[in-house]
C-alpha cells in the first residue's frame, strides 16, 4: 500500500516560495502527474516526497504515517531521474541491481529480481552492456529497471522522457503506462508536457507558481478547466480566448467583442466583463457564407496530417480552427467562422476563474 498525502506543504529557497501551502492526496496504485510550466514547483514537490528536499513547513504522509523527517533511503520510494543517472563503468545488470546490493540482498535473489525486471522491460539481451553502448530509449529502460527492481511502494519519475526524441517519447509513454499496470504500484510523474500528462494519467495536478490550480481526471481537466490558466496550458493547440462582454440583445443573451457576436446560454448572475474560450476543434470554417458565421480571412494554415490547423483573422482577433483535410483556401482568402454553441467556455475577465463550462461536459 502506498497512499501519499501532502498536508499544507510549503518550500522556500532564500526567501522565495516555490511550493505554497500544497495539499494533495495520491491514492494507492494511482498514476498521478504533476504538470506545469518550468519553475512551477513540480520537481521540488517530487523531491520533498522522496526525501531529497525537506519541506519548510507542512507534512508528508505515507499510508497515514508522517515521513517528513525520514531521509530518502528510509522511505519506501524509488526515483527515476531525467538524466538516467546510470553508473558508466557498470553493466546494465550491475546498474539495475546496485540498490539491492547496497541493501545487502543475497546475490541469488538480486540475480533473480534483475532478470525479472529486465524481462518486464524487454532488455534481457542488454544486461552485459555498458551504458555508453545503449541508445537513449534503452538507457531509460535501464533507469526504470533500477527503480522497479526494488519493489517500492511508490515510483517517482521526474521528467524521464525529456531527453528522448519525439518518436521515442511516444514509445516510452506506452511502456511506462503498461509498466504501471504490471507492477500495480503508485506512480507520481512530473512533466511540463501536457500531452504526456493527458495520455498517461489517472489524475493530473496542474501547478502554477507553486499552487495547485486544479486536480482532476484528464477528461475533466480538458472539458471543465477550473480557470483560464488551466484551459490555456492543457490542450494542443491551446484554447482560443476572446475578451468581451455579455449583453442582452432583443431578448437574447449575447457575448460581444470587436470580432464576435455570439449567442450564449449562461446562468444568471455572471459578470458583464468576460472572456470567451473555445477549443480549435470547436471552431468550424466554411468557404461560403453560413447563417450565424462571421467572415474573416485566412492568416496561415498548418498541415497536421489528418487535420489542418488554420489561423483566421477576424478584425483584430486571431482564432485557430482544427479542421479535417483537405483545406484548400490560401493566405488572405475569405473564410466564414462559426463556433459550436454547445462547447463554449466562459471565464471571468477579472481573475480568470471559470464561470461556465460546456453543457455536455458534465
β-partners of residue 24 are: 6
The string of pLDDT tens digits covering residues 5-64 is 999 999 999 889 999 999 999 999 999 999 999 999 999 999 999 999 999 999 999 999
**pTM for the predicted model, two decimal places:** 0.90
Residue-wise over 88-102: b if at least 16 C-beta within 10 A, else e?
eeebbbbbbbbbbee
How many other CB atoms are found less than 10 A from the CB of residue 262? 20
Q: How confident is the model at residue 81 (pLDDT cuts 50, 70, 90)?
A: confident
The string of pLDDT tens digits covering residues 82-101 is 777 889 999 999 999 998 88
The x, y and z cell numbers of residue 132, run together, are: 555508453
Do residues 41 and 209 make contact, with C-beta atoms less than 8 angstroms apart?
yes
Rounded-to-integer distance, Cα 92 and Cα 133, Å: 10
Identify the H or E element spanning 136. helix 136-148
Rounded-to-integer distance, Cα 172 and Cα 187, Å: 15
Q: Which domains does the chain have, with CATH numbers?
A: 4-232 (3.40.50.300), 238-361 (2.40.50.140)
Q: What is the pLDDT of residue 362?
A: 44
Of residues 311 and 268, the one with the higher pLDDT is 311
Q: Report whether pLDDT(183) > 90.
A: no
The x, y and z cell numbers of residue 32, run together, are: 498521478
Whether the ω angle into residue 237 lies within 30 degrees of 0, i.e. cis, is yes
Rounded-to-integer distance, Cα 5 and Cα 68, Å: 11
Half-sphere exposure of 152 (CA within 13 A, CB side): 29
Rounded-to-integer distance, Cα 287 and Cα 294, Å: 11
Amino acid at each position: 500500500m502506498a497512499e501519499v498525502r501532502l498536508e499544507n506543504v510549503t518550500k522556500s529557497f532564500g526567501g522565495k516560495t516555490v511550493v505554497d501551502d500544497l495539499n494533495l492526496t495520491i491514492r494507492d496504485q494511482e498514476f498521478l502527474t504533476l504538470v506545469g510550466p518550468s519553475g512551477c514547483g513540480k520537481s521540488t514537490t517530487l523531491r520533498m516526497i522522496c526525501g531529497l528536499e525537506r519541506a519548510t513547513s507542512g507534512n508528508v504522509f505515507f499510508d497515514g504515517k508522517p515521513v517528513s523527517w525520514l531521509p530518502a533511503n528510509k522511505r519506501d520510494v524509488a526515483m527515476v531521474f531525467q538524466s538516467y543517472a546510470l553508473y558508466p563503468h557498470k553493466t546494465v545488470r550491475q546498474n539495475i541491481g546496485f540498490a539491492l546490493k547496497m541493501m545487502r540482498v543475497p546475490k541469488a535473489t538480486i540475480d533473480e529480481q534483475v532478470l525479472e525486471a529486465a524481462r518486464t522491460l524487454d532488455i534481457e539481451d542488454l544486461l552485459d552492456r555498458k551504458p555508453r553502448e545503449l541508445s537513449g530509449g534503452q538507457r531509460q529502460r535501464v533507469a526504470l529497471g533500477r527503480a522497479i527492481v526494488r519493489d517500492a511502494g511508490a515510483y517517482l519519475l521526474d521528467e524521464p522522457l525529456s531527453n528522448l526524441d519525439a518518436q521515442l517519447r511516444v514509445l516510452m509513454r506506452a511502456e511506462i503506462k503498461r509498466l504501471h499496470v504490471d507492477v500495480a504500484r503508485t506512480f507520481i510523474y512530473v512533466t511540463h508536457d501536457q500531452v504526456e500528462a493527458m495520455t498517461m494519467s489517472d489524475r493530473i495536478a496542474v501547478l502554477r507558481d507553486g499552487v495547485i490550480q486544479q486536480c482532476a481526471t484528464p477528461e475533466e481537466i480538458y472539458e471543465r478547466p477550473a480557470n483560464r490558466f488551466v484551459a490555456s496550458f492543457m490542450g494542443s493547440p491551446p484554447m482560443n480566448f476572446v475578451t468581451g462582454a455579455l449583453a442582452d440583445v432583443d431578448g437574447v443573451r449575447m457575448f460581444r467583442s470587436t470580432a464576435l457576436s455570439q449567442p450564449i446560454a449562461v446562468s444568471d448572475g455572471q459578470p458583464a466583463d468576460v472572456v470567451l474560450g473555445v477549443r480549435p476543434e470547436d471552431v468550424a470554417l466554411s468557404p461560403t457564407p453560413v447563417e450565424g458565421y462571421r467572415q474573416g480571412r485566412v492568416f496561415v494554415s498548418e498541415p497536421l496530417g489528418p487535420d489542418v490547423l488554420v489561423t483566421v483573422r477576424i478584425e483584430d482577433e486571431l482564432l485557430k480552427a482544427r479542421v479535417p483535410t483537405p483545406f484548400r483556401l490560401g493566405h488572405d482568402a475569405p473564410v466564414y467562422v462559426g463556433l459550436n454553441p454547445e462547447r463554449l467556455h466562459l471565464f471571468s475577465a477579472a481573475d480568470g476563474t471559470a464561470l461556465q463550462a460546456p453543457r455536455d461536459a458534465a
